[in-house]
Every structure is written in structure tokens, then in C-alpha cells.
Chain A
Amino acid sequence: MSKPVKAVGLLSGGLDSTIAAAMLMRQGIEIQGLTFYTGFCVVEHNRRSKTRKRKKPVRNEALQAGAKLDLPVEMIDISGPDYLKVLTDPKYGYGKTVNPCIDCRIFMFRRARQYMDEIGAQFMFTGEVLGQRPMSQRRQPMNVIDRDAELDGLLLRPLSAKRLPPTVPEQEGWVDREQLGDIQGRSRQKQMEIAEEYGIEDYPSPAGGCCYLTDENFGRRILDFFEYEGKENLTMDDVMLLKIGRHFRVKPDVKVVMGREEGENKFLERYTPGRWRLETKDVTGPTTLVEGHPSDDDLRQIAGMTVRYAGSKADPDTPVACHYEDTERILEPSPVEESVLEAWRI
């Protein structure tokens, strides 16, 4: 018997990529799942920052899908400077917020192609559906992505295959085009029917905003960073901080990040080195980090902000401890008007 054809599938764990994988497995294709860790995943981050005791555990859907379909899943870490460049200098620009989806797909597909060659797979596939997403899943951007990622016709999109030109796996007869999908557009009806036919249950609801880069608030903060700190200076640590707490730009060179609950406060504490850290004395309150070069007046105002967001036990005179490296000062807060606070809010 000849060796089975092997394919790398980009799995998100959502319904589309799950049935795309199942569709090919039914044709006897051996599948290696692949998922990427970008550092911008909302689910992962929510877990990171919220207090640990949660009622409902969050699942890694790609791993769950792998377990469900009985196929191996490799997780590749692409977070880091190269991926950040995709965010700071996208060749094809941004979508609605700061989401560089086209460049991001190109980056991922290139990496997937490399992985495909590494493990000796013949082609790769995704669960993408033509016309489902405004930016990266229209025909023209799909062509651009395939060209720039140098996929050479080796990327199959099983769910929409019949609406797209035949790819190498179809031309070579590795997969039967006739048995692939002709789905187009945003409705999920067809996918749900296929899931039922295949006996796939318990799939996550369409996630949509699972990537921070499509989040409006996050987008605003990133743009603020680009403007005041320079996009070339963005690091993964900055990204982590941009995702969390309340943010205020007090002055061009002074930014405040304030935790909103215990989990965030704990998380922020880890980022103290090189920053000022303020906390209310004796009463519970937020952890406040200050980036840049605050004057004494700035620090007293930031102390005022810290008191403003502290629990009900704090009053406007509650002293605030201000740490920098090994030093501690106790500050009397100066109150900040709500309108000023709003103007500073990023």
C-alpha cells in the first residue's frame, strides 16, 4: 500500500477548521494539526490576568479539536520581534482597528509552509470560507496571501474549494475535489449541517474577536504607543501591558497603567522594574504603574487617581506609597477632576 498523503491543517479549533480537517480525514488524508501562539490571544490573556479561581475553565480549542478528531496538534510560538514587525509595519495595512490580518496570514502561512516541508507533508489546508471575513477571506486578498506566502498552489481551503481554482492537491488527485465544499459567505448553516452529518458536536461558538488586534480599545492604546513612544520601540512586554487595566496618558512622556482587580494588580506587579509603582496605604486599592518621567506633582496627581479607584474604605486623603526600585515614599494625593481624568484616558 502506498504511503498516505499527509497534510498540515491550520486549526483554530473553531467549527470551520474542525470540519475542514474531518472532510480530509474522510478522504484518507493523514493530518497534522498546527496552531500558532501569537501572544495576542484574548482567551489566553483573560486567563492570565483574571483572578485564578474561575468557575468555568477556559479550553484551548485547537487542542480540544485535536483530541476530538484524534489528530496530533503542534503549537508553534511565533510571538516575538518578527511577528511584532507584522503589527508595526504591515505591507497591506490594517483592517478596522490595528489588525494587520493580511500580513499576519502571510506570516503564519509562510511558517506553516516551512513546517510542512520540515515534517514531509505534501500540502496544507485551512478552514477559511470565501467571503466570510471582510479583510482576509475575500478572493483577491486570498490570492495576495497565497502569492506572498509562496504557497505554490499547495494551500487547500476544503470548505470553499469548489468555488476556488483547483489547487495542487486536487490536480494531483491527492484529494477528490468533488467531495469538497462550495461554501461561501457568512452564514454558518452549511457548516452546521456538515457537523451534524459528521457527528461533530460540542464545537465552540464562532469566536470572532479572539485576537486582541481586532479590539478597538486595544487598537487605541497601540496607536497611542506608536505616537508617543515610537512603534520601533514596541516589545512583547509593552504588548502585555497594553492589554491590561486602565490606561491614562498624563503627559507625552508619562503614562499610567492601573489594575482593575486583584488578578490584574498581581500581573502588573511583575512589571515593576524600571517603573514607578503606587499603592494605597492600609486600604485596598489598585496597583498603579507609571512609565516615563513623572515630576513630583505628576506623582501626587497619580496618587490622587489611585485613591479615586481604590475601594470604598479609601478617602481623598488616603496616603499612597510610591515605589521606585528600592525606594519608598509616602505621598499625599492631589485630587484629579473627572473631566481631566477622562481627557487622559486612552
Chain B
Amino acid sequence: MIQPAMTLDTFGLLCPVPIMKTASAIREIAVGEVLEVLADDPQILEDMPAWCASNGHALLDTIEEGEEYRLFVKKVK
């Protein structure tokens, strides 16, 4: 079970807004900690892996629950 240090709720928001919010939220946790992002825009399934890859963070897991998504991003640097 991944234990997130913080949860970011982006329900109702559409990309790229959830990604911009993820970028600010990740600044608030420590390296090694995990941010959980809740989203319902399926676009996040494309954008989050790309954002993590370009910004050097690790997308640990993506859980799809119907039309809702939970993504776990580990702050690497």
C-alpha cells in the first residue's frame, strides 16, 4: 500500500490544470515522499507520465476506478 504524504483533488478540472496543480503540490512535499492525485479527466493518463518523465519524478501507480483516477507520484528530486 502506497502511503501518500499529501492528496491533491483535481476532480472537475481538465488538463493541463491538474498538471499545473500537481507541479505546485509537489513543491510542498519532501524528496522521497508521494503525492496522490485524484482526477477525472482521462487526459491525465497521457499528461502525467509525460510530466513525470520530463520533470524527473516517478509515477508509481495509476489506479482507474470507473471514470476516476488515482495517481501516485513520488518526488525524486
Q: Is the CB of A60 within 8 A of B16?
A: yes
A71 adjacent to B42 (CB under 8 Å) = no
Whose C-beta in chain A lies nearest to the C-beta of B14? A48
Interface majority SS (helix, strand, loop, mixed), chain A: mixed
A-B contact count (CB 8 A): 65
Looking at B2-10, B30-38, B51-59, the stretch in contact with chain A turns out to be B51-59
B45 sits at the interface (CB 8 A):
yes
Binds B, one of A72-80, A123-131, A278-286: A72-80
Note all chain B residues with C-beta closer than 8 A to A33: 54
Q: How large is the interface on B (under 10, 10 to 19, 20 to 34, 35 or more residues)?
A: 20 to 34
Q: Give the Cβ gap from A311 to chain B, nearest Cβ, in Å.
A: 25
Which of B50, B53, B67 makes the CB contact (< 8 A) with A60?
B50
Chain A residues with Cβ below 8 Å from B15 are 44, 47, 60
Taking each of B43, B45, B56, which has the highest tally of chain A beta carbons within 10 Å of its own beta carbon?
B43
* A67 pairs with B54, CB closer than 8 A: yes
Q: A75-B16, A75-B20 are in contact. Are A58 and B46 (CB under 8 A)?
A: yes
Contacts of B67 in A (CB 8 A): 52
**Cβ of A66 < 8 Å from any Cβ of B?**
yes
Residues of the A chain whose Cβ atoms lie less than 8 Å from the Cβ of B19: 60, 63, 75
Bound-complex Cα distance A44 to B54 (A): 20
| Cβ contact within 8 Å between A75 and B54 | no
Complex contacts, A60 vs chain B, CB 8 Å: 15-16, 19, 43, 46-47, 50
- Give B residues with C-beta under 8 Å from A: 14-17, 19-20, 23, 41-43, 45-47, 49-51, 53-56, 67
Beyond A60-B19, A63-B19: 12 further Cβ-contacts under 8 Å? Answer: A44-B15, A52-B42, A57-B42, A58-B43, A58-B46, A59-B47, A63-B51, A66-B50, A67-B54, A69-B54, A73-B54, A77-B20
20 interchain pairs, CB-CB under 8 A: A33-B54, A44-B14, A44-B15, A44-B16, A57-B42, A57-B43, A57-B45, A58-B46, A59-B46, A59-B50, A60-B43, A60-B47, A64-B50, A66-B50, A66-B53, A67-B50, A67-B53, A72-B56, A75-B20, A77-B20
